[in-house]
């Protein structure tokens, strides 16, 4: 599975469950649309009565990235009620992306338990500040957790939980949400600069990368 950003993929490569959260709806939505395209073929579970996925934007992004046939490579299911989520999670085999798993604000531990029991790679995308709401058990189920926030001219992704790496924050331009941005500081990561927390690293570093603007179209949000 891939986010489209090699640094992030490297940081989460050994995770069973990875969670991304943001208080910015447009940012998180654009980010997981890119992840769906980059990860296909993949299962996709959208939690909630409506919205959450823009098929037109998904097709446009796939076309821009040269990944035609995305419609046949995403296995979509929607969980309308909180009671539907655990069984829906369990129904998938193979890699899975779950959009807003704790949307309904209840049965969080049951949902997190179903995610933990899957045994296959799972990426979660949650709206709001997961440090203050949602399942506490779900926070422990996630191997790594990333926080996305908007800044002038782009956005930042902060690794706030990891069993391997120290806290680190990466900066990207808005345009990087619409295409592959190259290696950036990926070689720096491979060079061992993010060795284990046990080696005494403190709060990590601010990493900045020049992003390649593949396309300038704005992704419409459903």
CATH of the domain at 142: 3.40.50.300
Tell me how many domains the chain contains: 1
For residues 207 and 7, give the distance between their C-alpha atoms in angstroms, rounded to a whole number. 10
At residue 28, the 3 state secondary structure works out as helix
In this prediction, residue 181 carries a pLDDT of: 53
Tell me the pLDDT of the chain (222 aa) as tens digits.
Answer: 999 999 999 999 999 999 999 999 999 999 999 999 999 999 999 999 988 999 998 999 999 888 888 888 999 999 999 999 999 999 999 999 999 999 999 999 999 999 999 989 999 999 999 988 877 888 899 999 999 999 998 999 999 999 999 999 999 998 888 764 544 444 444 444 444 332 332 233 233 322 322 222 233 333
The answer to whether the predicted template modeling score (pTM) of the entire model surpasses 0.75 is yes
179 occurs within a structural domain: yes
Show the domain range for 184.
Answer: 6-208
Query: Is position 219 within any domain?
Result: no
Residue 215 inside a domain? The answer is no
């Amino acid at each position: 599975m891939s986010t489209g950003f090699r640094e992030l993929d490297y940081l989460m490569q050994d995770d069973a469950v990875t969670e991304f959260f943001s208080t910015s709806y447009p940012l998180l939505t654009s980010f997981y649309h890119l992840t769906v395209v980059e990860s296909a073929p993949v299962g996709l579970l959208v939690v909630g009565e409506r919205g959450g996925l823009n098929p037109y934007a998904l097709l446009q992004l796939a076309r821009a990235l040269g990944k035609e046939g995305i419609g046949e490579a995403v296995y979509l299911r929607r969980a309308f009620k909180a009671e539907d989520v655990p069984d829906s999670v369990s129904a998938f085999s193979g890699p899975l992306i779950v959009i807003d798993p704790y949307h309904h604000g209840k049965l969080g531990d049951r949902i997190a338990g179903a995610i933990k029991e899957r045994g296959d790679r799972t990426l979660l995308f949650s709206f709001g500040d997961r440090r203050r709401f949602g399942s506490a058990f779900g926070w422990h189920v996630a191997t790594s957790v990333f926080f996305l926030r908007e800044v002038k001219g782009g956005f930042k992704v902060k690794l706030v939980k990891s069993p391997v790496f120290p806290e680190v924050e990466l900066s990207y331009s808005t345009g990087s949400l619409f295409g592959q941005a190259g290696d950036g500081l990926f070689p720096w990561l491979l060079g061992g600069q993010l060795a284990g927390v046990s080696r005494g690293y403190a709060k990590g570093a601010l990493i900045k990368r020049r992003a390649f603007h593949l396309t300038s179209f704005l992704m419409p949000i459903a």
